Amino acid sequence: MRAQGGAAHRGRPCRRDPGPARLGFADVRNHLNTPRLRDRMGGADLFVWHGYTALWLDGAWRKATPAFNAELCARFGVEPIAFDGTGDALMHAYDGAGARYMSYEHDRGTFHDLPLDDVLTTFREHYGEEMFAAHEPGEDAFTR
Q: Within a domain: residue 140?
A: no
Q: Within a domain: residue 47?
A: yes
Q: Which pairs count as long-range contacts for 33-38, CB under 8 Å and 24+ apart, including other chains?
A: 34/141, 34/142, 34/143, 34/144, 35/144, 36/141, 36/144, 37/141, 37/142
- How many domains does the chain divide into? 1
Q: Within a domain: residue 144?
A: no
What's the rounded Cα separation, in Å, for the pair 54 and 69?
19
Residue 38 burial (CB < 10 Å; 0-12/13-18/19+)? middle
Q: Within a domain: residue 106?
A: yes
102-127 pLDDT per residue, tens:
889 999 999 999 999 999 999 999 88
Q: Within a domain: residue 15?
A: yes
Higher pLDDT, 141 or 83: 83
Higher pLDDT, 78 or 17: 78
Q: What is the pTM of this model?
A: 0.73
Give the domain range for residue 52.
2-126
18-66 pLDDT per residue, tens:
569 999 999 999 877 788 888 888 888 899 999 999 999 999 999 998 7
Q: Within a domain: residue 80?
A: yes
